[in-house]
Chain A
Amino acid sequence: MDQNLINDKPVKYMNPYLAGIGLGLVLLASFLVMGRGLGASGAFSTLIAAGTSVVAPEHAQSNAYFSEYLGGSLGETLKDWLLFEVIGVVIGGFVSGLLAGRIKLKTDKGPNISNGKRYLFAFIGGGLMGVGAKIARGCTSGQALTGGASLAFGSWVFMMMVFTGGYMFAYFIRRQWR
Chain B
Amino acid sequence: MITPLFKFGYFGDEFSLIVAVLIGIGFGFFLERAGFGSSTKLAAQFYFYDMTVLKVMFTAIVTAMVGLLYFGWLGILDLTLVSVNQTYLASQIVGGLILGIGFVIGGYCPGTSVVACATGKKDAMVFLLGVIFGIFVFGEFNTIFEPLMELTAMGRVLLPDVLHLSYGLVVFLVVLMAIGAFTLAEYVEKILALKKDK
Contacts and interface: CB of A to CB of B under 8 A. Distances in A.
B67 interface: yes
Contacts, number: 537
Interface in A108-165: 108-110, 115, 118-119, 121-165
Interface string A9-28: 00001101101111111111
Given A22-B33, A127-B134, A170 B46 contact: yes
B100 A161 contact: yes
B130 A32 contact: no
A155 B89 CA distance: 9
Contacts of B47: 170, 174, 177-178
Interface string B8-23: 0000010011111111
Interface in A23-45: 23-38, 40-41, 44-45
A141 B136 CA distance: 20
Given A14-B33, A103-B119, A126-B127, A131 B98 contact: yes
Interface string B60-100: 11111101100100001100011111111101111111111
B97 A165 contact: yes
A86 B170 CA distance: 31
A87 B20 CA distance: 9
A126 B77 contact: no
Contacts of B124: 108, 122
A158 B92 CA distance: 5
B123 A130 contact: no
A64 interface: yes
Contact of B27 (A32, A38, A130): A38
Given A92-B30, A167-B100, 5 more contacts: A20-B55, A23-B34, A41-B135, A123-B129, A129-B102
